[in-house]
Every structure is written in C-alpha cells, then in structure tokens.
Chain A
Amino acid sequence: MEINGLQRHYELASGVVRALDGIDINIEKGERIVLLGPSGSGKTTLLNCVAALDSPTGGSYSFDGEDVPRNKSEEMTTFRRKNIGYVFQFFNLLQDLTVLENILLIQELSGSRDKQRALDLLQLVGLEKEVDRFPAEISGGQQQRVAIARSLAKSPKLLLGDELTGNLDSKTSAMVMEVLVKACESEEITTIMVTHDENLSKYATRVIRLDSGKIVSDEKVNQ
C-alpha cells in the first residue's frame, strides 16, 4: 500500500480540524504494523481511510497498484470485501449466530461459503471445540479470537484491528495477539493495528507513531 500526502480535514463551526495532515507511508506485504499515538492523534482516522470506511480529503493512496476508492459507498464496500479483514474492539459478533455461523455468514455475504475453511480457522485460533456456542456463551478473549477467525474467513490481503485488545486483560490480550500473529503468518496477511498499548509493539514488525495528524516516528522492529 502506498500512501502519499494523505489528509483528512473536518470543517467545523469552530474551524478546520486536521485529523490527518499529510501522511506518507509505504507498506510491504507481510508487514505487521502497530499504529501508536495519544487520543486524537489521527490513528483511527488513518485506519478508517485505509479500510475505505472513510474518505480522505486530500492526498493519494493505492493498494496493489490501484487507487483505493473514496466517496462511493458500494465501491468502498467492494474494496473492503475483496481486500480487508477487520477486527473490532468490542468484537461485534452477531449474537444470534453461533461461533461457526458468524464465520459462515461473512463467507456467504462474500459469495463463497466454505465450511471446512471456517472450521480450519477456528482450529487455528484454538476454538475448534466452541463451534456451536453462541458468542454470549464464551469469554471476551474467545470472542475476539472468533472475530479474528471471521476476519480471515475470506482470505483478506490486509487485516486491520482497531484497539482489538482494548477490551481485554493483559493475559488475554497476549493470547489473542499470539493467535493473530500465528494466523497472519500462516495466511501471509499484512496487518495494521491501532492501539494505545505500547506492549503490543512486540508483536509488530513496524511501529508508526502519530501525533496531531502527522507521523512522528516510523521504525522497523523485531525483524
């Protein structure tokens, strides 16, 4: 992914808020990037732009050599469907579906139901015994692992996580991150994770720090 001079400005009555103010990043395949920064630094906005959930107001960015769509809802959705896996802070599992069905649903909506892959992914995240349970019947850490399996279900090229351990204790966080690293390595998936938690840096291959909408540091780690 190539990001050049990316801007996301909000015009408010009180003036212009520069959430992203000229971001330049090149991301290689297989990298595991952790975006760190204080609240309001722009890391979630950057993640949303990368995920094609939000449209930048300036700059350019491309994925696999093609521009990432912006301001066109269905094109943005298609881009996400083809390329992006997303893990939420609050897991966002569908409570009426079992663990297995949560994964199957995404496959069905993407047009490729593959039960065996869903089961394999659950095994990969260590939940092969929980396939028929409902989300409310398993722990938070397990739910997040289901969410990781779900995000991998349609074999995305890029996995995005927004404070994905923010709702978990440190022990469970570690377990979830290990599962994530293992899964991404086995599937050769590039990962970008937004977090406040400096400890997650140890799972990254690259750490980017933002402040006031600008990159303040960008370093390769754990290579």
Chain B
Amino acid sequence: MSMLLTKRLARSLWRTKLRLSAVVFMVAVGVFAGISFGTYANAASNLYDGIYDGEDGVNLPDIWVENPSGVWNDSTSENLCESISDRWPDSDYSLENCEARLILDGIMYDVDSDGNEKVIPAVWHGIDEGIVDKVWMPTESDFSSGRLAENSNEIVLDSHIALDLKVELGDEIEISSGHGKMSYEVVGIGFQSMHLYFATEGSTLPADDGTFATGYMTDSGLERLANLSAGSSNLILIDVQGSPVYDLQSTDDINENEELTKLVSDISILMGDLDDTPVSVYDRSGVFSVEVLRADAEGAVKMYPYVTGMIAAIAGITIFLSLQRLIQSQAKEIAVLRTLGVPKMSIMPGYILAPIVIGLLGSFIGTLLGIYFGAPGMLSFYEQIIGLPINNATDTSLVMQNITIAMIIVLLAGLRPAWQASRLQPLNVFRGQHEVKLSSRKLQKLTAKLPATVGLSVRSSLRKPMRVGFTFFAVGISMLLFGAMLFMMSSMEDSILGGIKDKQSWDIQASTPIDGEDAVIDWVDQNDGQYELLINFPIGIEDDNRQMMAYGLDKFSTTDDKDSMIMVDLLDGDLPEQNTGNIQVLIDQGTSEFLDWKTGDEVSILVGNDMHTVEITGITKGEISRTIYFHRADLSELVGLESTSVLIELPDEETSLDGLSEITIGYSLKKDTIKTFESLLEQQQQFIFAIQFLGIIIAIAVLFNTLLMNLAERDTELATLRVLGAPMSKLGKMMLWEHLGIGLIGGILGALFAYFGTVLLISSQVQWAFYFTIEPQFAATMTIVGVIAGISIALTPIGMWRIKKMNLVDKVKDLSN
C-alpha cells in the first residue's frame, strides 16, 4: 500500500471534514448507545439475579397459595403446610420449604407539611420464620439499614416509602389494618421480594412518592395490628428444591415450565381436598411486581440489540454513502492512476483503511461518552425509577463487544465502495460513462409539464435512487427512536391516564374487611356520595398457571354510555347479561390474544378450587393487565364474597375523609393514581427527551450527509447557473422546495417506519403481565413529518452558503463532479 496514495486519500477526506464529522459522529453515537443501553440491560438482569440468588439474596417462593377471601386460623395454617408436605404431588421437584404467611392491606398515617394527617394505602407482612423468603437488606447499601423486626411493636419499613417520607431508624410510625391505629418502632429499612417493583396492587405504574407503603413485622406484630389470633395466615409460600430457572428472567415464554404448571395444578387440586376456602394457586407469573421486573429485565435485554443495531445500521449507511461519494468525486484521479499503471490492489487498501480509521475514531469517542456519561446516566435513571440500589459498572466485554460490532459494520460498509474504486475502468471514467447521470424517460415524462426548475429539482433528487432510498431508510430508523417514544407515550397516556380519567368515575376505592362493606356504605350515605360495590378476585385458567384478575361490577356501561363507575371500551361483542344460563363475561384484548379466546366462546376458568364455564360476550380494549369482567352478582356466587372494595363518588373535592380509614383496610384516591402517572411521565421526561434528541440528532446527521452530497454533486450545475445569472433567491427557492420535498417524503416514510416499527417492537415486548397496543396518533405522525421536513428545510441555508462561497470560475471547469 503506497503511503503517498494513503496520504492523498487522507487529504481528500479532510477536505470533506464537515461530512466526515457527521460520519464519525454516527459511529460514536452507535457505540455510545450500545454501551449505555447494554449497561442498563446488564444491570437489570444482574440486579434480580443478585436479589434472588446472590450472597445477600432473599430467594423467591416458587408457588404461592393465596386465600383471597379470608384468613386461616393457626391450626389450619399449620395443617395445610403439613398436608402439602405429606401429600406432595408426584413431580420432578421435591418440596424444600412451606411457610404460612400473613399479608394484609392497611394504612400508614403520615403528617404532611401543613400538619394534616395523610392516609397512605399499605400492605403489611407478618413474617414468622422467613425461611422461604425474607426481607432484603443488602449490606453496603445506602438504601437499607437496621435489623429485622423481633418484637411485636417493631417494623421494618420498605426502603421506597422510608426514603419518600424521610423515616429513619428509631422513628415511631402509626399504622392500621382495619382495627384501629397502632404505633410501631422502625428498626430496619429494607426491601421485600414481592415489592421490589413498588406499586399498589393492580397498578402497572410504580407508586408516586409517598402514595404507597409496605412494612415487614413479626407475625405476632401483624396479628396484634389486625386483631387476629396467633398463627393466622392467608398465604402459603412454597419453595421447591434447587434454583429452578423459572425463578429468574431467562425464558421467552412466561408459561415456560411444564413441570411447574403441573405442580401448580396438582397443588390446586390438593388444596381443594384439604380446605373448602377458595384459594388461588400460582407461580411467579401471578405476582405482578415480580413479573413486571422480569419483563423489564427481559425487555431491556431484548431491546438493547435492536437499539444498537439500528444506530449501527445508520452509521453503516452513512459511511457507505459517503465513501461512494468520495470515490465518485475521485473517479478521474483513480482513472489517471490506473492509466499510469497503478494496480487495483494498491487502490483498494486506502479505501478500506478510511472506514477503519473513521470507525476507530468514532468508537473511541463513543466509548468515552458511553462510559462516562451514557451508562451512569441510564443507571441513575433506572435507580430513580425503581428505587433499588444498582451497583453495576460498565463491563469491559460489553465495551469490546460494541466496538467490535461497530468496526465490523464500518468495515462491511466500506468494502463495496473500496471494491468499486478498484474496479473503475479508466476509459469509462474518461468518457464519463462511470456515472450515468441521465434521468429516466419515465421520470422526464412525469415531470415534463412542470417548470424546468421544479423538474430539475425532482430529477436531481432522484438521480441517485440508492442514495435517496438508503437515506430514507436511515431517516426512518432514526425516526423509530424518536417516534417510538412519541407513539408509546401517547398510546400509554391514552391507555393508562385515559383509562383512569375517562373510563373510571370513582374518587375513592376503599378496600373493606370481609362483610365490612355496610359500614362504608353508611359512610358514603352520610357524606351524600354514590357508591358501587366491586369484587376483585384472582382467577386461574384451565391447564395454565397464569393468573388473571376478575372484576365483579355492579353495573356495566361503555365509555359512550358513561353509566357506571368503571366503564369498558368495547372492541367487539356486547355487554354481558346477568343471571343467564351460562355466566357471561367480557375479556380484555390481551387475554383474547394470548389465549385465543373470541367473542361467543365458552371457556373454562378456575375460581378458587373449582372450574367454571363462562361465555365471552365481548372483548374490551385498553387494559394493561389481564382482566375478565363479571356481573358482581355472578362472581359473588362463585367466590362467596359480597365485595372486596367499594367504589365511591364524592359530591365534591372538599368532602372530608374523616372516619373512612377506621372502617376500611385501606383506600386509594383516583387523584393519587393520576398524579402517579403524571409524576412518572415527568420523571421519565428527561430520558424520553434524551432518546428523542438522539433520534433527531441522528436524522440531522443523515440528512445533512445526504443533502450535502447531493449539493456537492451538483456544484458544477449550480455554478453554471450562477455564471448564467441565476439569482441566489431563485436557487435558494429551488433548493428549499427540493429539501421540503425530500423532508416531506422522508417524514412520511419516517412516520410510517416509526409507527409500524413501534408496533413490531411492542408486539415483541408484550407479555401476559403487560399487554399494550400502539394506536396511530395523528399528532405524533404530524410531529415526525414536521421534524424531518424541518430538519431538511433548515439545511437549505447551509446549501446556499456553500453556493455563495463557491469559486464559480473554478467550479464551471471542474467536471469531475
């Protein structure tokens, strides 16, 4: 390889330093994004591995047996575990541990800055031996401290709420669980495996600061709070021997383990034999908090290659196009060299070396940015959202992996142009045949009626269809980053916020103790409010260990009728009738999709220990969790409960809630739920903006690269027009329309790409616990088109500046372009 040839190439590249920097930037962004997202994905995976399995780990039960409608007394609790052990089903897995546990809804009381008492919905755990799982108090963490509760007046408060309310060790807190307020001393601050994702039951969103609490006391401590006899329980935790893979986020299918499914089913049957109480038996998939974290980690691991791959592909495209342009502009020089006898193999290495140098420079910049800014930023954002301590440094192998991927793509992108350079035929080049600039007859006919200026713009823009095509493709990918955020956020806003604001008219959802709804109804009447009773009950599916939530509604109405406190958005079918031969139900779109259940189907569901057949009369949309709607009266017959909570509409916002906490085991306010989502959006704003900014910056770099190449290619043409007296205003207008055209087409394609890409991405990410659809959004589509058209138009002044500073005399003679 001749040093002089390489030096010449380096100088040529340096002359195009503006475009060169766009290409280096693209490689840097690819490596930066890869390191940032990869660190996040690794952290998400390692975190849960560490919590459940690591040295400080707390294990995760394998099977939960829940009594949703009441509490087992001391002897039943003990008998159940003994019987499960004695009659352990025939399975590959043997029983490791069985532990009865008491978990109750309740309230934590706090005093706000104005001195007013604040009621916070809570879940209290009474942990006896803590053999199946225990409170997680990682050592050397700022997030946890103290010790486990040992006495009945002590509590370990969850780190999330302790941080929100600034509770410290030794503080006294007031809590209740349907039987009056009591004081407990905070002796520890930590986490629990069922509340790592800190959200209220049934909520898909992490609780806003200070709106949800959990605490872990001794079993006697919780029995004292709830006025229950010693040894009471409502949950049996079962651990099977070993650490089966289904404890961790390592499988594609949520219902991944046939043996476990069978075990769940067998234990369900066994429970039916042992006790009349309807129970719900489920594995990890039935614990929303656990499932969300697993889905999140799995999603991060799945998304990481997509995101980095997309950015790397854009980098590859820009390098490919830039090198092609470079070779085109140097065609005559190459032809001269070839004529003078320089062999092909002397021409090619330089053009391979160029992308390698570009790739190394971009990788170096991207690595520095990724290690020092991207990865710490992503981890800090993640830590902020989930409130768990993350100690994950960027992995050297991850850095090497990203650099290697970037270098491979860069090299592949450079190979074809280098090969083309070496294959240039001198005679063809001298005859001007190396590059056919002729517009097609078809295009000429199509644009013949247009003014020559417009015709020229159209034909010049389409002169290099491959370049335009690749540019649109790259812009489309960059818009996938930008647009996915837009589409996802607006669809989520519609789904979650719209689901609460428009589809639910209640102000308070009050959880009642068994048969405690009358007291709440009296309270509502005294306060001139309206109410509806609601049953929430987890139900199972025949031959499937997944859980869904049944809603028993007093009244059914659609979002058009608005005649009930919880409305449904019917996608298909009709509202169910009450007291028909078969129980009629509605299911949500996600359930329909995952289980292939359709309107009109009769399906088997497991309520408690009994299988029932229900008829699906319609499918609803907008539910993120898997949901089945019953008439309350129908569901009540199946579960033996009148209600689990009361939905309350207050006459006005000023109505005092005094007395409500004493007669409920907790309540949540709709405004808090809305605030939670709005606060989550606000929290994520920075991250969303960062991703959108990345998308826009990439789109700018891609369009800048292509439009500048288009202009450079037309230097002689434009200089000729200037010599012939074309005013800058007219050329500027011509360029403006040209850029607007490219921008609009690119924008429309970008929007389509973003929409369908997001739909594909989301469909690959949805899981049983988190189903979500992307709706076409006019505003989001227009934003994408506007952004691309805007970027394209904004590059016009650069083109005009370029023409202005052109040496016309030199340019009109330069026919190498």
Q: Is A63 in contact with chain B by the CB < 8 A criterion?
A: no
**Docked-complex contact B444 and A98, CB < 8 angstroms:** yes
Contact A136/B438 with A53-B808, A73-B804 known, Cβ cut-off 8 Å:
yes
**Docked-complex contact B438 and A82, CB < 8 angstroms:** no
Chain B interface helix/strand/loop/mixed: helix
Question: Which listed residue, A81, A86, A97, touches B452 by the CB 8 Å rule?
Answer: A97
Q: Is A157 in contact with chain B by the CB < 8 A criterion?
A: no
Q: Is B460 in contact with chain A by the CB < 8 A criterion?
A: yes
Q: Is B760 in contact with chain A by the CB < 8 A criterion?
A: no
Interface flags, B436-449, vs A, CB<8A=1, else 0: 11110000100000
Q: Is A134 in contact with chain B by the CB < 8 A criterion?
A: yes
**Docked-complex contact A80 and B804, CB < 8 angstroms:** no
User: Of residues 290 to 312 in B, which have CB atoms within 8 Å of A's CB atoms?
Assistant: none
Q: Is A187 in contact with chain B by the CB < 8 A criterion?
A: no
**Docked-complex contact B725 and A53, CB < 8 angstroms:** no
**Docked-complex contact A80 and B456, CB < 8 angstroms:** no
Residues of B within 8 A of A214 (CB): none
Residues of A within 8 A of B804 (CB): 73
Cα–Cα, bound, A82→B724 (Å): 10
**Docked-complex contact B438 and A113, CB < 8 angstroms:** no
**Docked-complex contact B726 and A81, CB < 8 angstroms:** yes
Of B335-343, B519-527, B574-582, B714-722, the stretch lying at the interface with chain A is B714-722
Residues of B within 8 A of A82 (CB): 725
Nearest B residue to A104 via CB reads B452
**Min CB distance, A149 to chain B, in Å?**
12
**Docked-complex contact B813 and A90, CB < 8 angstroms:** yes
**Min CB distance, B298 to chain A, in Å?**
52
Cα–Cα, bound, A104→B724 (Å): 13
Q: Is B603 in contact with chain A by the CB < 8 A criterion?
A: no
Cα–Cα, bound, A96→B455 (Å): 9
Contact A101/B815 with A48-B809, A134-B438 known, Cβ cut-off 8 Å:
no
Contact A96/B439 with A74-B728, A88-B812, A108-B451 known, Cβ cut-off 8 Å:
yes
Cα–Cα, bound, A113→B450 (Å): 12
Question: Which listed residue, A85, A94, A104, touches B720 by the CB 8 Å rule?
Answer: A94
Q: Is B730 in contact with chain A by the CB < 8 A criterion?
A: yes
Cα–Cα, bound, A12→B439 (Å): 43
Residues of A within 8 A of B455 (CB): 96-97, 101
Q: Is B459 in contact with chain A by the CB < 8 A criterion?
A: yes
Residues of A within 8 A of B725 (CB): 77-78, 80-82, 84, 106, 109-110, 154
**Min CB distance, A100 to chain B, in Å?**
9
User: Of residues 61 to 97 in A, which have CB atoms within 8 Å of B's CB atoms?
Assistant: 73-74, 77-78, 80-82, 84-86, 88-90, 92, 94-97
**Docked-complex contact A81 and B727, CB < 8 angstroms:** yes
Q: Is B453 in contact with chain A by the CB < 8 A criterion?
A: yes
Question: Which listed residue, B453, B717, B723, B727, touches A86 by the CB 8 Å rule?
Answer: B723
Residues of B within 8 A of A80 (CB): 723-725
Q: Is B463 in contact with chain A by the CB < 8 A criterion?
A: yes
Residues of A within 8 A of B438 (CB): 95-96, 134, 136-137
Nearest B residue to A154 via CB reads B725
Cα–Cα, bound, A53→B722 (Å): 9
Contact A96/B460 with A48-B809, A113-B451 known, Cβ cut-off 8 Å:
yes
Nearest A residue to B454 via CB reads A108
Cα–Cα, bound, A118→B676 (Å): 71
**Min CB distance, A47 to chain B, in Å?**
10
**Min CB distance, A88 to chain B, in Å?**
6
Cα–Cα, bound, A86→B726 (Å): 12
Query: Which residue of A88, A95, A102, A134 has the most chain B CB atoms within 10 A of its CB atom?
Result: A95
**Docked-complex contact B809 and A78, CB < 8 angstroms:** no
**Min CB distance, A25 to chain B, in Å?**
20
Q: Is A151 in contact with chain B by the CB < 8 A criterion?
A: yes
Contact A106/B813 with A53-B808, A97-B455, A101-B452 known, Cβ cut-off 8 Å:
no
Contact A105/B452 with A77-B728, A90-B813 known, Cβ cut-off 8 Å:
yes
**Docked-complex contact B452 and A108, CB < 8 angstroms:** yes
**Min CB distance, A117 to chain B, in Å?**
14
Q: Is A51 in contact with chain B by the CB < 8 A criterion?
A: yes
Residues of B within 8 A of A78 (CB): 725, 727
**Min CB distance, B324 to chain A, in Å?**
18
Q: Is A54 in contact with chain B by the CB < 8 A criterion?
A: yes
**Min CB distance, A153 to chain B, in Å?**
9
**Docked-complex contact B724 and A108, CB < 8 angstroms:** no
Contact A97/B815 with A77-B726, A84-B725 known, Cβ cut-off 8 Å:
no
Q: Is A150 in contact with chain B by the CB < 8 A criterion?
A: yes
Cα–Cα, bound, A108→B452 (Å): 7
**Docked-complex contact A109 and B460, CB < 8 angstroms:** no
Residues of B within 8 A of A132 (CB): 444
Residues of A within 8 A of B812 (CB): 88, 92
Cα–Cα, bound, A132→B446 (Å): 13
Cα–Cα, bound, A98→B730 (Å): 20
Cα–Cα, bound, A74→B722 (Å): 10
Query: Which residue of B436, B437, B720, B815 has the most chain A CB atoms within 10 A of its CB atom?
Result: B720
Contact A53/B813 with A78-B725, A113-B451, A136-B438 known, Cβ cut-off 8 Å:
no
**Min CB distance, B536 to chain A, in Å?**
69
Residues of B within 8 A of A85 (CB): 724
Cα–Cα, bound, A151→B731 (Å): 18
**Docked-complex contact A51 and B723, CB < 8 angstroms:** yes
Cα–Cα, bound, A30→B737 (Å): 40
**Docked-complex contact B452 and A96, CB < 8 angstroms:** no
**Docked-complex contact B720 and A88, CB < 8 angstroms:** yes
Interface flags, B414-448, vs A, CB<8A=1, else 0: 00000000000000000000001111000010000
Cα–Cα, bound, A208→B459 (Å): 43
Cα–Cα, bound, A89→B716 (Å): 13
Contact A94/B717 with A104-B452, A105-B456, A113-B451 known, Cβ cut-off 8 Å:
yes
**Docked-complex contact A94 and B456, CB < 8 angstroms:** yes
Question: Which listed residue, A95, A108, A150, touches B453 by the CB 8 Å rule?
Answer: A108
**Docked-complex contact B716 and A77, CB < 8 angstroms:** no
Contact A109/B453 with A54-B809, A81-B726, A96-B459 known, Cβ cut-off 8 Å:
yes
Cα–Cα, bound, A82→B455 (Å): 24
Cα–Cα, bound, A90→B809 (Å): 13
**Docked-complex contact B456 and A96, CB < 8 angstroms:** yes
Residues of A within 8 A of B720 (CB): 88, 92, 94
Cα–Cα, bound, A102→B813 (Å): 18
**Docked-complex contact A109 and B437, CB < 8 angstroms:** no
Residues of B within 8 A of A109 (CB): 453, 721, 724-727, 730-731
**Docked-complex contact B459 and A97, CB < 8 angstroms:** yes
Contact A53/B452 with A109-B730, A136-B438 known, Cβ cut-off 8 Å:
no
With A48-B809, A73-B804, A108-B451 known, 13 other A-B pairs at CB within 8 A are: A80-B723, A88-B723, A89-B813, A90-B813, A92-B717, A94-B456, A97-B456, A97-B459, A109-B726, A109-B731, A137-B438, A150-B724, A151-B724
Residue contacts A-B, CB under 8 angstroms, 22 given: A77-B722, A77-B725, A77-B726, A78-B725, A80-B724, A81-B724, A85-B724, A88-B723, A88-B813, A96-B439, A96-B455, A96-B456, A96-B463, A97-B452, A101-B452, A101-B456, A106-B721, A106-B724, A108-B451, A113-B451, A134-B444, A136-B438
